[in-house]
Amino acid sequence: MSNKDLHHLGVAQLSQALAQRAVSATEAAQHFLARVKSHPELGAFVALNEDATLAQARAADQKIAAGNAPKLAGVPIAHKDIFVTTDFPTTAGSQILAGYQSPFDATVVRKLAEAGVVTLGKLSCDEFAMGSANENVAVPAVGHDQAVPVRNPWDQNRIPGGSSGGSAAAVAARLAPAATGTDTGGSIRQPASFCGISGIKPTYGRASRYGMVAFASSLDQAGPMARSAEDCALLLSTLCGPDPERDSTSLDRPAEDYSRSLNESLEGLRIGVPKEFLGDGVAPGVRAAIEAALTEYEKLGAKRVVVSLPRTELSIPVYYILAAAEASSNLSRFDGVKFGHRAKQYADLNDMYRKTREEGFGDEVKRRIMIGTYVLSHGYYDAYYLQAQKVRRMIADDFQNAFKDCDVIAGPAAPTVAWKLGEHGDDPVADYLADIFTLPGSLAGLPGMSLPAGFDGHMPVGLQLIGNYFGEAKLLNAAHRFQQATDWHTRAPEGF
């Protein structure tokens, strides 16, 4: 194949071409950098450092030439701008971190770099990963002199989903073969669904949170976003693993090779479809695509069973209480002293804190800090925060009941396809309600993924698969077999 078509290769194909020296890491990096620069209209990237990227690529080429290359040597990927990086600025999409340069790399970034991955740049996200549309961005995108929302490559008048919207748009538009994302309440699965790509969030505690700018510590998890389950498996096997020195919630479970079981048969696999996930709130076109995907699974030998997650709707208030509470605590570190923005004019220390934070944070971030501060304040803690943690356990228990009757759970990743930019206007609750199918799995800390399963009109629909704890291999196996039988994941938006 000619080098001008390199962007059509996924991670597995590209790493093979690199290992066989059909293409060099430097050529691959140059090709993708040129593509990124030729598509500023998407607003997907917020930082490039071509010198650093090409230096990483040259190092990969040397290892390949010396015959001691790690398994992903020379594969270019991009990181969500929530992971701190020494070679690129890190903003988490926020003005309060404008110009911040991390003295260290996030563990996920380091693990991927050790496997030979080359970093193309940093990807736009909702500020501090708070959002479902990637409209809450406060830093300029590459090729722009101001902050812009990310646009969906399938229809540029629509949102890509969020908060990992830059990651999803970049992968869908073939600006990068894969990207990292983070998922607190659906921020990998929902944008993957909206942009027609594959993305997986592992069990809470599988991937280190060290160097991920903290939003809600009991929910945040990193994961890969790519075009296929096969590519996700390669990257997930690399980025997971215990990090006992750096992340106290990282679980002491060795990393697995998720590629190994991709081809296992699905004969007899019990797929549980929660009746709450296909109710009236689901768009008819989304339901039709999900039904067709479930029929395809039956052809592959799986059995469909009905299960129930009776507290699905409650997951919205529970999540937005817990996440806001944890965010208000985590974001108290942004005070204009140690890093980032400081207000120019202030009367005293307290006034400096107040003005710095007022200027540095965007609306949605302030809203969540306010909600979180309130529910943690004296006299309200038991009624809100503690009550939410109790209902969280009931939601986790509901999943264990459902898993008595099934091996994986399936349903839509979101009730609709991607909506139009600005459509939810000034109503944050409209965004919150759209998270209904990803929040329950997040609260329970379960692995979940989204894979392309068809279209509603011209927009992609994602099938969500949720596994039991540590069931990532089963999810990727089920997704890969589906992708062997269908071609939804190979479809590219027009013009890309």
Partner 1 sequence: MSLSSSDIARIASLAKLDLGAAESERMLTQINGFFDLVERMRAVDTHGVEPLSHPVAAIEDVTLRLNADVVTEPDNREANQKSAPAVEAGLFLVPKVIE
**Of the residues 45, 83, 128, 204, which one makes contact with partner 1 according to CB under 8 A:** 204
Which candidate in 124, 164, 187, 328 is catalytic?
187
Query: Judged by CB under 8 A, does residue 279 bind partner 1?
Result: no
Find the part of the chain contacting partner 1 (CB under 8 A) among 58-66, 109-117, 227-235, 393-401: 393-401
127/231 with CB nearer partner 1: 127
Among 3, 355, 491, 492, binds partner 1 (CB under 8 A): 355
Residues 452-481 that bind partner 1 (CB under 8 A): 469
Encoded tokens for 478: 């089920």
Contact 77/67 with Cβ under 8 angstroms? no
Contact stretch for partner 1 (CB under 8 A) within 67-75, 181-189, 380-388, 481-489: 380-388
Among 231, 335, 435, 472, binds partner 1 (CB under 8 A): 335
* Cβ-Cβ contacts under 8 Å for 234 (sequence gap 6 or more): 11, 12, 15, 71, 72, 258, 259
What is residue 420's three-state secondary structure?
strand
How many helices (H) and strands (E) in the chain?
A: 16, 11
Q: To which H or E segment does residue 452 belong?
A: strand 448-456
Q: Which residues inside 5-64 make contact with partner 1, applying CB under 8 A?
A: none
Q: Given the rule CB under 8 A, which of 223-231, 284-292, 352-360, 478-486 is the region that contacts partner 1?
A: 352-360
Q: Other CB atoms closer than 10 Å to residue 35's CB: what's the count?
A: 18
**Nearer to partner 1 among residue 245 and residue 298 (C-beta):** 245
Tokens found for residue 94 = 């926020």
Nearest residue (CB) to partner 1, 65 versus 370: 370
Task: Tell me which of 83, 128, 215, 320 binds partner 1, using CB under 8 A.
Answer: 320
Min separation Cβ 452 and partner 1, Å: 27
Number of C-beta neighbours around residue 213 at 10 A: 28
The yes or no reply on residue 354 touching partner 1 (CB under 8 A) is: yes
232 or 391: CB nearest partner 1: 391
| Residues 56-115, interacting with partner 1 (CB under 8 A) | 99-101, 103
Does 218 engage in binding with partner 1 (CB under 8 A)? yes
Q: Look at strands 118-123 and 45-47 and give their pairing.
A: antiparallel
Rounded distance between C-alpha atoms, residue 374 and residue 371, angstroms: 5
* Beta strand extents in 295-407 (DSSP E only): 303-307
163 is catalytic: yes
Among 16, 62, 157, 248, binds partner 1 (CB under 8 A): 248
Q: Beta-carbon neighbour count of residue 249 at 10 Å?
A: 13
Which positions from 118 through 147 interact with partner 1, judged by CB under 8 A? none
Q: Does 1 bind partner 1 (CB under 8 A)?
A: no
**CA atoms within 13 Å, Cβ hemisphere of 344:** 0
- Decide: is 413 part of the binding site for partner 1 (CB under 8 A): no
Q: Is 80 a catalytic residue?
A: yes
Spatial distance between the Cα atoms of 263 and 117, rounded to a whole number of angstroms: 25
Strands, E assignment, 300-372: 303-307
Q: Which of residues 421-450 bind partner 1 (CB under 8 A)?
A: 426-429, 432, 443-446
For 260, residues 6+ apart whose C-beta sits below 8 A from its C-beta are: 473
Cβ nearer to partner 1, comparing 89 with 493? 89
Phi-psi region of 205 (alpha: psi -120 to 50; beta: other; left: phi over 0): left
Task: Pick the closer one to partner 1 by CB: 61 or 105.
Answer: 105
Selected catalytic residue, list 15, 24, 132, 163 = 163
Q: Confirm whether 164 is a catalytic residue.
A: no
Residues in the chain: 496
| Contact residue for partner 1 among 249, 265, 295, 401 (CB under 8 A) | 249
**For partner 1, which is the closer residue by CB, 155 or 398?**
398
Least Å from the CB of residue 360 to partner 1: 10
Of residues 296-315, which lie at the interface with partner 1 (CB under 8 A)?
Answer: 313-314
383 DSSP 8-state letter: I
Instruction: Read off the tokens for 434.
Output: 């759209």
**The pairing of beta strand 408-412 with beta strand 303-307:** unpaired
Catalytic residues: 80, 163, 187
